[in-house]
Structure 1
Amino acid sequence: MKVLLVSQYFWPETFGINALSLAFAERGVELTVLTGKPNYPDGEVFAGHSAWGCRREDWRGIEVVRVPLFPRGRKSGWRLALNYLSFVAAGLSFGPWLLRGRRFDAVFVYAPSPILQTLPAIFLARQKRAPLALWVQDLWPESLAATGFVRNGKVLALVARVVRFIYRHTDRLLVPSEGFRAPIAALTDDARKIRYYPNAWVDETGPAAADAPVAALAEKIAAGFSVVFAGNLGTAQALHTVIDAAERLQREGSSVRFFLIGSGSVSGWLATEVARRGLTNVELPGRFPPAAMPHCYAAASALLVSLRDEPIFAQTIPSKVQGYLAAGRPVIAALNGEGARVVVEAGAGLACPAGDAAALAAAVARLAALDADARRKMGENARRYAFEHFSLDRLADDLAAQLAELAATHRRKMT
């Protein structure tokens, strides 16, 4: 089976689609990737790449076709908008030429924000006479409003009309959370094409285990009761709540320490607040490669996932939840809705309301007060649930079967 993957983000950017693509290749799927120039998350084009010009690469047997885009930059709404729109324009302008003469059995879109990246895929699917499957990772326009990126009601209404167009020109809509089903059904013409398809757990343990900085960080984490947050340090993650909880615990004399590993739009604010408040129980080690994370997780007493108190975030399961569960450590979910439900259903840890610093501090204190056997049982439950529900092999087989089914149905309709 020949599949065209369209995604603004791809290796060497660190997204789950990388591992899924390799799993596809292992199953004999001939995959071609149409993507942009790597610049996430820091907003600068990676070394060895240029923002402009088209480029072909081979990544572990997968053909990667790159089109130009405008780098997203840092803390700039207009640059981010240009980044989003430039990929759409480049995909529509260069994609058909770069893929001329090629036939595909299916077109598949991996769509974290922006969902607008589906627009070139719609055109290409029509041109190639292939069915289109869209894996929705963020709800638009809801996420734009929730993050404050767009506040104008007329603009949000316009975005909703574009999203309705996208959904109605897609043959299969895959959702990573059951909470996505209702809002997507409201914008599509046929709710039957919506299928639950969660993000997979990816084992990324690699050479970073031997790196001195990773080993030093893991040793530091293991020295006492530690709570580790890893990933994007952005506004959606409600890290002000974590800082407030840490301050509360420090005042109470708790020895719990927080490690916020990663980088993002609030990295500078976090450093300023930690210094201003004199927080000796919060560390900001910076960003480490994905291969380092399992070693940091294994050293942690608990793993923390948090999101802001917004209706849209109650509908999602943060992708880090899968990795946390697979690490076999207790999880603290400072979330509402689906993400918290998964952690509680798995018996993998504790949940508290999103945005509630007092409740988060209480949850951390409660977990720290449990005996080692109780915490070990939570970790065992977490890992079992991850293998049962989020196995990469099982999910890769599922998606390959869905795309083959779509291709066969499409061929029958065309004859």
Structure 2
Amino acid sequence: MHILVVTQYFWPENFRINDIVTGLHQRGHQVTVLTGHPNYPSGQFTHGYTGRQVQIEQFSSIRVLRVPMLARGQRSGARLLMNYMSFALMGSVLGPMVARGRYDVIFVYEPSPMTVGYPAMVMKWLTGQPIVFYVQDLWPESLAATGFVTHTAALKVVEWMVKGIYKACDRILVTSRAFIPRVQRLGVSPDRISYFPQYAESLYRPLAPEPDWARQQGLPEGFTVMFAGNMGTAQDLMTVLEAAEILREETINWIFLGDGSMRTELESEAYKRNLTSARFLGSRPASEMPRFFAQADALLVSLTSDELFALTVPAKLQSYLACGRPILASLLGEGAEIVREAGAGVTCEPQNAQGLAEAVLVLRQLSQDQRDAMGLRGRAYFEAHFERESLLNDLERTLKQVGGRV
């Protein structure tokens, strides 16, 4: 098959679409990627990119077509909206010109924004090729949950927009079973919706701790709680700092890896509170994450208590499970249920600093053997439910069915 992938985010930005594209290419399919210029999560264009022109390049022998766009900036709703709309517009206008060719199917990757669907809709209108749309973030629900859009009339407009995008899609994949009723509510019949959970790349695997390497990376000795990923409002990391303050007298390290719109504010808050146990180590390559995770006694995943996030399975959860370390989940709903079902860690109510602090103490009081057993159970659950090759088989089968190759 020849697959056109439409995604606002792509390498060197760290999103799972990079591995999905690689996996499909390794299976013998021709893949072309229509994307923007990398600027996530810092909000500034990555070195070597300006966002001003069409740029054609290769990623592991895969053709990548980048259209002009505005960078997302930091802590500016207006700037983020322009970022979303600029890719949608440039992808719709320039995409058909730069992505000329015969495709069997169009695959859209949507971790947000939903507007990534517009270039695919234009391509379908011009070529007649079907769309498989991979929903990882529900609109308008996520816009309301993060406070990005609060006006009722504006949310209704977004809902109308999403209905139009869904109507144009031949198959919709969702990362959480709890998403299915929400997608159906917008007029999509059940036979057009499929559950396709996120997986973790094969590089995520259990590794042994390396004390010397850990010291070189700035990781202190002692019980370590580690968070990795985007630091935005949805991740509720201010509550984590409050928990760190509650446990100030305990010997517990709080390590933050990653970047995002809240990072500067979080660092400032940690400084104001004199939380010397909290360390922000910045973004590191995905290839280093398993090595970092191996140094942690608990891997933290957190979201706010909004109803939407109870439906969500955070992408980092699969990576944590794959690396076989105990998980500390400050979550509601499906994500928390996975941790409990797997026996892979401890869960607590989100946005509750005291509850999070108590959960940390529960994990610390366990023996090393007990924590290791949690990690092993998490890895076994990952292999049974989120293993890469099995899920890529499912995706390949779906793309062939929709593209008329079966």
TM-score, normalized by the shorter chain, greater than 0.5: yes
RMSD of aligned residue pairs (Cα, Å): 1.9
5 Å-filtered alignment, 1:1-400, equals 1-100=1-100, 102-204=101-203, 215-216=214-215, 220-221=219-220, 223-250=221-248, 253-400=249-396
Q: Which amino acid aligns with 1:16?
A: R
Change (3 A) 1:190 1:205: closer
Letter in 2 for 1:156: L
1:325-373 CA-partner distances (Å, limit 9, x unpaired): 0110000100000110111111100111111111111100001001112
What letter is aligned with 1:163?
Answer: V
Contact 1:214/1:292 (<8 A) preserved: no
Which residue identity lines up with residue 219 of structure 2 in the other structure? K
Contact 1:34 1:64 in 2 (8 A): yes
**TM-score under structure 2 length normalisation:** 0.96
1:349-403 residue CA offsets vs partner (Å, 9 max, x unmatched): 0111111111111100001001112111100001111112111111111101100
Deviation at 1:103, TM superposition (A): 0.9
CA distance in 2, matches of 1:315, 1:345: 16
Structure 1 regions of 5+ residues with no counterpart?
none
> Retained in 1: the 8 A contact 2:204–2:319?
no
Letter in 1 for 2:281: P
Per the alignment, do residues 80 and 213 of structure 1 end up closer, same or farther by CA in structure 2, a change over 3 Å counting? farther
The residue type paired with residue 261 of structure 2 is S
Preserved contact between residue 3 and residue 29 of structure 2 (Cα < 8 Å):
yes
- Read off the aligned partner of 2:180 and give its amino acid letter: R
Please give the secondary structure, in 2, of the residue aligned with 1:4.
Answer: strand
**1:213/1:291 CA distance change after superposition, 3 Å:** farther
Task: Give the match's secondary structure for 1:220.
Answer: coil
CA distance change for structure 1 residues 205 and 181 in 2, over 3 Å: closer, same or farther? Answer: closer
Structure 1 window deviating more from structure 2 (135-144 vs 278-287): it is 278-287
Contact 2:32 2:62 (8 Å CA) reproduced: yes
Counterpart-to-counterpart distance in 2, 1:129 and 1:61: 27
1:191-212 per-residue CA deviation (whole Å, 9 max, x = no partner) reads 2211110111113479xx9xx9
In structure 2, C-alpha distance between the alignment counterparts of 1:401 and 1:217, rounded to whole Å: 45
- For this pair of structures, how many residues does the alignment match? 403
Distance 1:195 1:266, change over 3 A: same
Shift of 1:276: 1.3
Contact kept, 8 Å, 1:302 with 1:329, in 2: the verdict is yes
**Deviations 1:19-44 (CA, angstroms, capped at 9, x unpaired):** 11111111001100000111111111
CA distance in 1, matches of 2:216, 2:230: 18
User: Which range is displaced more, 293-302 or 264-273?
Assistant: 264-273
Shift of the 205–174 alpha-carbon distance from structure 1 to 2, 3 Å rule, reads closer
Whole-angstrom distance in 1 between the partners of 2:49 and 2:241: 37
Structure-2 separation of matches of 1:263 and 1:213: 25
Residues in 2 aligned to 1:23 and 1:303: alpha-carbon distance in whole angstroms: 27
The CA deviation string for residues 165-222 of structure 1, in whole angstroms up to 9 with x for no partner, is 111111111001111111111003312211110111113479xx9xx9974355725x
Identical residues among aligned pairs (%): 42
Q: Which sections of structure 2, spanning at least 5 residues, go unmatched?
A: none
Letter in 2 for 1:150: V
Amino acid of the structure 2 residue aligned with 1:259:
I
